[in-house]
Amino acid sequence: MDLVRHPGFILKERFLDPLNVTPYRLAKCIGVHLTRVTRIIKGERAITPDTAARLGLYFGVPAEWWLEMQARYDLQVEVDFGTIEEDVTPFVRPANCAIGPKGARFFTGTSAPAPASQSVSVTEDLLERLRRQVGARPERNRKLEAVNYDSGYKAIVGVSS
């Protein structure tokens, strides 16, 4: 997997240098100390929501973009998923339930209402990766199955053996 670059590198290489804006000028224009800007550029400091809002207003780029870039960097560089996977026991959802960024969705035949949501595609690659992760922990006595619903939705469910 290719490592993402620190948002400070992107700030310098794609914004400051091409626009001939110095770190000092940026700091003055967005109302922060010069050390904040220089530490971000050096990759020693994260872009906070406050800084993202200031950069967003200054460059006309949404603050969310700066925060998403920081979050991608943090997830790839700062988080040790190997250690976390050893500590976390994934939730085993009911077969008639899909869980995603918008929460839990129950399918027909359940008492829970089915809220309107977007379809999420489950690739065979993702399913195989998850199967390998579950298979690596036989003590949990679970397997993964893909469930296809009449509505066209597909869900990955954990099933106890």
Q: What is the pLDDT of residues 35-78, one digit of tens each?
A: 999 999 999 999 999 999 999 999 999 999 999 999 999 999 88
Task: Give me the pLDDT at residue 104, please.
Answer: 87
Q: Are residues 11 and 75 in the same domain?
A: yes
Question: Dihedral sign, CA of 117, 76, 70, 25?
Answer: negative
Tally the domains of the chain. Answer: 2
pLDDT less than 70: residues of the chain: 1-2, 109-122, 127, 130-131, 133-161
15 in a domain, yes or no?
Answer: yes
* Residue 1 resides in a domain: no
Within a domain: 116? yes
Long-range contacts at 112-119 (CB < 8 A, ≥ 24 apart): 119/152, 119/153
Residues 72 and 14 in one domain: yes
Contact 114, 107 (CB under 8 A): yes
Asked whether residue 48 falls in the same domain as residue 74, the answer is yes
End-to-end CA distance of the chain: 33
Asked if 127 and 72 sit in the same domain, the reply is: no
Residue 110, pLDDT score:
43
Pair 66, 126 in one domain: no
Strands 142-148 and 154-160: antiparallel
Q: What is the pLDDT of residue 160?
A: 55
- For residues 92 and 35, membership in a common domain is answered with no
Q: Does residue 143 share a domain with residue 93? A: yes
Same domain, 93 and 64: no
Task: Give me the domain span that covers residue 116.
Answer: 87-160
Domain presence at residue 2:
no
Boundary of a domain, candidates 41, 56, 79? 79
> Is 96 in the same domain as 65?
no
Domain end residue (candidates: 57, 79, 101): 79
- The domain that contains 27 carries what CATH number? 1.10.260.40
> Which are the contacts of 154, defined by CB distance < 8 A and separation ≥ 6?
121, 122, 146, 147, 148
**Boundary residue ending a domain (25, 48, 79):** 79
